[in-house]
Amino acid sequence: MVNPLEQAIFEMIRQRKATSFCPSEVVRWIYPQDWRHFMPDVQETMMDLYREDKILVTQQGIAVDPNFLPKGPVRITSKTEETNGSTKDEYEHT
Per-residue pLDDT of the chain (94 residues; tens, 9 = 90+): 789 999 999 999 999 988 999 999 999 999 999 999 999 999 999 999 999 999 999 999 999 999 999 999 999 999 875 544 444 444 444 4
pLDDT (0 to 100) of residue 92: 47
pLDDT (0 to 100) of residue 8: 97
Please state the pTM of the whole predicted model. Answer: 0.83
User: Is-contact 27 65, C-beta < 8 A?
Assistant: no
**Topology of domain 4-90, per CATH?**
Arc Repressor Mutant, subunit A (1.10.10)
Domain boundaries, the chain: 4-90
Cα–Cα dist 52/73, whole Å: 21
pLDDT (0 to 100) of residue 80: 77
pLDDT (0 to 100) of residue 79: 86
